[in-house]
Amino acid sequence: GAGCESPGQGGGGGFFGGGNNTAGPWVLAGIYTVALVVDGKTADTKPLRVTDDPEVALTSADRKRMFDLATEMHDLQKRLVEAQTALASLNRQLTELADAIGKRTDLPADVKTSFDAVKKDVDALTPKLTAPAGRGFGGAGRGDNPSIVTRITQAKNGYTAGMPVTEGTTRAYTEAKNQAPKAVADLNAAIAKAAALSTTLARYDLTLNVPQPVKPIEAAAAKRSSL
Q: Which of 56, 40, 32, 126 is nearest to 84 (CA)?
A: 126
Report helix, strand or coil for 31: strand
How many other C-beta atoms can be found within 10 angstroms of the C-beta atom of residue 172?
28
Q: How far apart are CA 214 and CA 191, in angstroms?
A: 9
pLDDT tens for each residue of the chain, 227 residues long: 444 444 444 433 333 333 356 778 888 889 999 999 999 999 999 999 988 888 888 888 999 999 999 999 999 999 999 999 999 999 999 999 999 999 999 999 999 999 999 999 999 999 999 988 754 444 444 456 889 999 999 999 999 988 899 999 999 999 999 999 999 999 999 999 999 999 999 999 999 999 999 999 987 654 554 45
Q: How far apart are CA 15 and CA 78, in angstroms?
A: 10
Between CA 219 and CA 131, with CA 7 as vertex, the angle to 5 degrees is: 50
Report helix, strand or coil for 198: helix
Find the helix packing angle between 109-129 and 167-202, rounded to 10°.
160
Length of the chain: 227
Q: How far apart are CA 119 and CA 114, in angstroms?
A: 9
Residue ranges covered by each domain of the chain: 58-202
